[in-house]
Structure 1
Amino acid sequence: MSDDLGLFTDPDVDERRPLKRDRERDRARAKAKKRKKTVLWLVVAMVLTVGLGGAYYGYRELRSIGSYEDYAGSGEADKIVEVKDGDVISQIAATLYDNDVVASAGAFIAASQTDARVLSTQPGFYLMKTKMSGAEAVARMIDPKTRVPAVQIIGGTKLSDIKAGDKTVPGIYSLLAAASCTEKDGQKTCLSADEVKAAAEQTDPVALGVPDWALADVARAEPQYRLEGLIMRGVYQVKPGVSAVELLRSVIVSSAQKMQGFGIPGGTVNTGFRPYEVLVIASLIEKEAIEKDFTKVSQVIYNRLKKPMRLQFDSTINYKNNQPHIRTSDQDRNTPGPYNTYMSFGLTPTPIGSPSQQAIAAAMNPEGGEIIYFVKCHEKGDSCFATTFEEHNANDQKAQRDGVY
C-alpha cells in the first residue's frame, strides 16, 4: 500500500535514518570505491616501475634544462663518447653532459631543434671535445668525420695477415689496430697489430671475454690460433685509445652476443656436435663454398665425419701455411699435422677463419642426403656434388677442362 501522504508513518522513527537496504547499498558502494583505489594504486605502481628508466633520463634532462647552462666556443680537450643503440636525443644529451662535453643536457637539446640531422645519429663512438657550446656539439655530432670508423670483418677473415706476393690481406689484428688510433692535441697514437696479437695470445681467455662454451677448446689450442673464429663476420664499434685487452674483449663479447642470436650455443643441441665444433664446421663451410652451396658442403662434412672419412680440404692446409691459394701441393698434403685434413681424421683443432651468420646456420642445418664429394666446377665458385667417387672424378675432370682451376 502506498503512503505518499505519510498517514502510516511511525512518529517515533527518525525519517533521516536510512532503511536497511539503503545501508547495504552504501556499504557496497564503499567497498567498490576501495577496490577502485587499490587498482588505481597498482596501475600507478606498475607505470612507475616500467617507466623507471625513462624517468631517470627525464630527470637528468630536466636537471640541466632547468638551469640551461651553456659553454661558449668549440671546446677544449678531445673526448670520446659512445652513442648506444636506441639512444634518443635526451639520452645522447645526458651522455654529453656526463662527459663534460656540454654544460647541460638542455643546451644540446635546444641546439638540436635547429638541425633535424641529429635525430639520425647512429650508434658508435664519436670524437668530441670537452666544454663545447650546445650548438658546436650538435654541429660536430652530425659531421661524418666525427664518428670513429667501425671495424668490418668479412667472412673467412683470419686473425693474422695473409701475404700474397706484393699484396697483404689485413687480418683481424691489423684491422683492430687501425681502429684503435686516437688523436690528442695533434698527436696520433695507435696500437700495433703485434700488441693486439700479444694480448690475444698471452691474456687469460676469461679476461678476453671468451664465452664459457669455448673456454676448454681455447685452452687446448696453440696460442696463435686460440681466438680464431670467435670474432665472426660483422660490423664492430670499437673505442679508440683503450688497451689491447679491452679492445679485444669488446669485440669478442659483441661477437659472442651475435652468435647467441644465431644459435650458438643454444641451437647446437640436436646437431651431435659441441657448440665449438659447430663453429669449426661453420668456418670450414665459409672457406670451402659460396653461400648458395653452404648447406650442401655442411652435409658433406657431416657425412664424412660419420663414416669416418677424412675431410680432405685444401683450405685447412692453407690456413696452417698462411697461404691464400685454393689448391695445395703434394708436399703440403703429405706433411702431417692437425690442420692437414688429408692425413688427419676429424675436425681441425680450431676454426680457420671468421664464419658468417649464413655459414653458422648451414653448420646447424645441413642439406640432407648422401653426398660426400664436391669440387669447384664453375668460374663463379659453384660446386658440383657427388655421392660416388666415379661421379666426383668426372666432375673434377670437367672442371679442369673448363679451366676452373
Structure 2
Amino acid sequence: MCAVVENSVLPKKKRSKAPLVLILILLLLIGSVGSFVYASMRPMPSSSEAVMFEIPEGTGTAGIADKLQKEGLIRSALLYKVYLKMEKEGGSFKAGSYQLYPGLDYAGITAALNEGEGAKPASVKVTIPEGLTIPQIADRLSEAGGWDAKSIRQLAREPEKFADVLPDGVPSEEGLTYALEGYLFPDTYEFSTDASAEDVVRRLVKETTTKLKAVPDFDALLKERGLTVHELLTVASLVEREAVVDSERPLIAGVIYNRLNKPMKLQIDATVQYALGKQKDRLLYSDLEIDSPYNTYKHEGLPPGPIAAPSLKSIEAALQPEASDYYFYVTKKDGSGAHWFAETYEQHQQNIEKSKAGGK
C-alpha cells in the first residue's frame, strides 16, 4: 500500500497596510494644499467702490504684492508673487496711482499695473467740511462731481440700502428728516466719475463706521456713557454746530449732558435752524415756536437724530466730555468764537450782557 503525501499549505503572509495609509495621507495633503491655494487665489468679493492704490517710486513686486493684500485687493501676497514669477510678470509695473476695483483676478490686476497711469480712470476730488447737513452735502457733491443732488437726498432717506456699512444698524427713530444725517463722514474723497450716487453715499457712510471703530476703547466708552451710536452722533452733531474753538468741544459736550441729566431743555439754536431748514444769523422768538421734534426749545431731551455731519473731534468730545457744573454758555462777541460758561441762570445773564458789551 502506497503512502499518500499531501501538499503542505504554507500560511499566507499578511500584506502591510502602511503604504496605502501613506498614499491616503499624501492625497489628503495634496487635496488640502490644493483647496487652500484655490481659495487663496480667488478674487476678493466684487465691489463698485474703487480702491485708490498707490505704488511709490522704487517699490518692487514683493512690496506691491504685500500692499495689494494689505489693502484688501488680493487674499495672498505670497501666491501672487508665485503667480508673477510663473507668468514672468511684474517687471513692467509702473509707479503711480491706480483705481482698482475689488473682484479683479490676478490677471486683471497685473494688466492694470502694467498700464501705468493709463490704468487710472477719470476721477474727482470732493471735500465735505464738518458741520454740513444732508442737503448741503448733496449740493457739494452735485457741484464737484455732477451727481444728482435730489438722488443724494433721497438715498439719505433710504438707510436700509446701507445696512451693511452702517456702524450700528439702520436708524429707525421717529421724526427723522434724513435717516443718514450725521452718518456721512466729513473728509476729502476721490471718486471715479462713473461712480453712482449710491456708491458715493455708501463710501461716506462706510468712512463713519471706519472712523468710529478706530477710536480707542470706543465700545467701552459708549457703554460707559449709556448711549447708542445714533445718540452719540446726535450729541456730536450738536457739539459740532455749537463749538468753534477745539478746546471747548469737551466742555460744551459736558454742558449738554448736564442739561440732559437735570433734566433741562437743551435750547440749542442750531436745532431750530435745522428744523427751519435754513441758516439764519439771528433767530426770532417766532422761530423758537416752530413745531418740530428737532426744536430743543420746545422738547426735552435730544432731537430725533443728528443735525449735521460731526467731525472726529466732536465725536471724541461726545464720548469723553469735560466734567463741570456748567449749564449755560454764550458766544463771546470778540470774534474768537469762544464762549462764556455759567453755572446759574443769573451768571448766564451777566455773561450775556458782558458779551453784548464785547467783554473778554
Q: What's the offset of the Cα at 1:389?
A: 1.6
Q: What's the offset of the Cα at 1:383?
A: 0.8
Identity across the alignment (%): 25
* 1:137 partner letter: E
- For 1:75-98, what per-residue CA distance to the aligned partner results, in whole angstroms no more than 9, with x for missing partners? xxxx99643589953577xx8xxx
Change over 3 Å in CA distance of 1:384–1:150 after alignment to 2: same
Contact 2:263/2:300 (8 A) holds in 1: yes
2:52 is aligned with 1:83: yes
The counterpart of 2:198, out of the listed 214, 238, 245, is: 245
The counterpart of 2:251, out of the listed 286, 290, 296, is: 296
Contact 1:110/1:134 (8 A) holds in 2: no
Contact 1:107/1:134 (8 A) holds in 2: no
The counterpart of 1:148, out of the listed 123, 127, 133, is: 123
Q: Tell me, in whole angstroms, the C-alpha distance in 1 between the residues paired with 2:168 and 2:52.
A: 30
Q: Which residue of 1 aligns with 2:344?
A: 388
The counterpart of 2:354, out of the listed 380, 394, 398, is: 398
Q: Which residue of 2 aligns with 1:157?
A: 132
Q: Which residue of 1 aligns with 2:229?
A: 275
The counterpart of 1:175, out of the listed 111, 136, 140, is: 140
Contact 2:98/2:117 (8 A) holds in 1: no
Q: Tell me, in whole angstroms, the C-alpha distance in 2 between the residues paired with 1:155 and 1:368.
A: 25
Detail structure 1 runs of 4+ shifted over 6 Å in the superposition. Answer: 104-108, 122-125, 132-136
Matched position secondary structure for 1:213: coil
1:63-82 superposed matches below 5 A: 82=51
* 2:134 partner letter: L
Q: Which residue of 2 aligns with 1:197?
A: 153
Q: What's the offset of the Cα at 1:371?
A: 0.5
2:162 is aligned with 1:208: yes
2:269 is aligned with 1:325: no
* 1:149 partner letter: V
Structure 1 gaps of 5+ residues are 1-47, 58-78, 96-103, 161-170, 182-189
1:312-351 superposed matches below 5 A: 312-351=267-306
Structure 2 gaps of 5+ residues are 1-32, 43-47, 56-61, 74-82, 102-107
- For 1:173-197, what per-residue CA distance to the aligned partner results, in whole angstroms no more than 9, with x for missing partners? 2333456x5xxxxxxxx43111222
Q: What's the offset of the Cα at 1:260?
A: 2.3
* TM-align CA RMSD: 4.2
Q: Which residue of 2 aligns with 1:230?
A: 183
Q: TM-score, normalised by structure 2?
A: 0.68
Q: Tell me, in whole angstroms, the C-alpha distance in 2 between the residues paired with 1:247 and 1:366.
A: 32
Q: Tell me, in whole angstroms, the C-alpha distance in 2 between the residues paired with 1:330 and 1:230.
A: 31
Matched position secondary structure for 2:198: helix
Q: How many residues align?
A: 295
- For 1:85-144, what per-residue CA distance to the aligned partner results, in whole angstroms no more than 9, with x for missing partners? 89953577xx8xxxxxxxx978984344xx7x53xx48788xxxx9x9989832446x9x
Q: Tell me, in whole angstroms, the C-alpha distance in 2 between the residues paired with 1:303 and 1:108.
A: 63
Q: Tell me, in whole angstroms, the C-alpha distance in 1 between the residues paired with 2:220 and 2:206.
A: 17
Q: What's the offset of the Cα at 1:272?
A: 2.6
Q: TM-score, normalised by structure 1?
A: 0.61
Matched position secondary structure for 2:266: coil
Q: Tell me, in whole angstroms, the C-alpha distance in 2 between the residues paired with 1:195 and 1:399.
A: 43
Q: Which residue of 1 aligns with 2:320?
A: 365
1:4-43 superposed matches below 5 A: none
Q: Tell me, in whole angstroms, the C-alpha distance in 1 between the residues paired with 2:112 and 2:345.
A: 71
